[in-house]
Amino acid sequence: MKLLWRTCAPAAMLLVGLAALSALFFLMPPSGAGAAARPVVSTDALQSALDRSRAAAKIPGVQAAVVLDGKVAWTGACGLAVDVRGINALTGGRAVRRSVPATTATRFSIASLSKVYTATMVLKLVQDGRIGLDDPIAKWVSPAPPAGARVTVRQLLDHTSGYHDVEVEGDLADQLDLESDYDPHRVYDLTQILSTLRVPQFTPGTRYEYSNVNYLLLGAILLRVGGGTLDTQLHTMITDPLGLTQTSYADQPGLARRMAHGYERTGGRLLDHWSGSRTVPTDVVGPVWADGGVVTTASEAGLFANALQLGRVLNPATLAIMNTPTAVSATDRYGMGSYVYRDAGRTWQGHDGNYGGYQTTMFTDAASGLTVVVLANDDSDGVWDVFSAVAETLRP
């Protein structure tokens, strides 16, 4: 993202149509929200919280957004989208020759926040009667994976299928590991990846165990039923209706110049996940990755999440199914591409992500119409500290 912006600049963008910007303004919550839940938005305080928490967490760069009842109330960025300190994991030398500041226009890989988009598209197909939650996946995935006649669409969505995570163990895991068999230009084939699946590790539906392969399988179902590529369906079902232009599942001309690099900390080194590649790594963005392949900005992610949780994307009954934790998910409180999280005096619904040197959070407090998104370009847990700092600024 080669866009000019002062690092940690206090001049965060306020994207509402006001003639004059104010450091402090008040937005009413959506109808039905309690007065105690009304957020007071101070742009100066939010940028200060972002600057301080990023520096404390030693994250190269962050981008954040606050969305209130369908409008971006504030978005800010600080730090670096591309860090000259990053090391090329393949050569051991520097990955880039110069740093690039993070701005509010920088695009980030959002890792597993992508599961919210994938789940939404699948649930739209369910809502339209094109597939059923309790359909066996063998009906829609060909060749059928092991136990495909017993595993259902529902069990993929809520991570109760029992399938092992092919991105954590096996050949694919080695290919995705910067310090193993990594190649930023490798061509991945979804059918070949799914052919490595084994029989479920437990009786489907009896346990919750998060596994990325569940959403790879949902991607295969979308390709079979939805018509068109994942990116085409994303635009048809989500981004075009919401007027989002910076969100995609696919690489695009010039995207690499507008994206933040992801960084992984290991052995005291800051490894650049792009490892010298001049194009977006194929494990970060590509047609295979229904579990984590979306790129976007914090403001567009916030607009999507806010519209979703305020009932403007799915109908109320379908949204309730999405948000209701499965009985076996225990303390994880995971529904279908969405889970419950409590912080800063609010109960949030959303997801987080962590892959390829990107850590991301996207949560909505529907009671007050409030969504907070934080995108970071390293794999530490520091994004949670940044999210908390921003959320505390909005504490009711």
pLDDT tens by residue, 242-298: 999 999 998 888 999 999 999 999 988 999 999 989 899 999 998 899 999 999 999
How high is the pLDDT of residue 274?
A: 96
Contact 132, 153 (CB under 8 A): yes
How high is the pLDDT of residue 26?
A: 33
How high is the pLDDT of residue 28?
A: 37
Contact 302, 67 (CB under 8 A): yes
How high is the pLDDT of residue 20?
A: 33
How high is the pLDDT of residue 276?
A: 84
Mean pLDDT of the chain, nearest integer: 90
- Residues in contact with 351: Cβ distance below 8 Å, sequence separation at least 6, in sequence order: 112, 113, 115, 116, 337, 338, 339, 361, 362, 363
CA distance readout (Å), 287 to 28, 64, 191, 386:
40, 26, 12, 31
Q: How far apart are CA 289 and CA 283, in angstroms?
A: 8
pTM of the predicted structure, to 2 decimals? 0.90
Contact 79, 60 (CB under 8 A): yes
Using 50, 70 and 90 to split pLDDT, how confident is the model at 37? low
- Residues in contact with 163: Cβ distance below 8 Å, sequence separation at least 6, in sequence order: 145, 151, 197, 198, 200, 201, 211, 213, 214, 217
Tokens representing 176 are: 């995705």
How high is the pLDDT of residue 281?
A: 96
Tokens representing 394 are: 């909005």
